[in-house]
Amino acid sequence: MNGKNGLACITPVSSLRKGNNKIVIRPLPGLPVVRDLVVDMGQFYTQYEKIKPFLINDGKNPPAREHLQTPDQREKLDGLYECILCACCSTSCPSFWWNPDKFVGPAGLLAAYRFLIDSRDTETEARLDDLNDAFSVFPLP
């Protein structure tokens, strides 16, 4: 909207009309346009799936009930699970434009971190190994 990525559903029109009566809405940059404002988000979701966006539990000693978290453990996730996968952050990132088939992107990295710090997930090391490349995070020495 007016040259900036954002969510049209929550952006007040008044904020877009500052000093100008014209509002320009364009499709997300860096993604193939299907028609009008509709873009093909397939590559974005392919990259997102690489981080395995779900809890992984080793299955050893299956609990008799759900995996509980302390309030402190749960609080660590605040701000990490609210992402609606709109792709605004990834499509505004030049690294995503230049390497859309390789770069995980900001949305994927945020989700990866969300699962890395979740006390119920048992695959932290495997997740870190999967992220250890130049198109995810900087390689570990």
Q: Where do the domains of the chain lie?
A: 28-131
- Residues 6 or more apart whose CB falls under 8 angstroms from that of 119 comprise 69, 70, 73, 76
pLDDT at position 23 over 60: yes
pLDDT tens, residue by residue, 116-128: 999 999 899 999 9
Task: Determine the Cα–Cα distance for residues 88 and 7; give it in Å rounded to an integer.
Answer: 8
The domain made up of 28-131 has a fold known as Fumarate Reductase Iron-sulfur Protein; Chain B, domain 2 (1.10.1060)
User: pTM score > 0.85 for this model?
Assistant: no
Phi-psi map region of 91: left, alpha, beta (phi>0 left; psi -120 to 50 alpha): alpha
- Confidence category of residue 98, pLDDT binned at 50, 70, 90: confident
**In this structure, are residues 108 and 93 in contact, taking their beta carbons and an 8 Å threshold?**
no
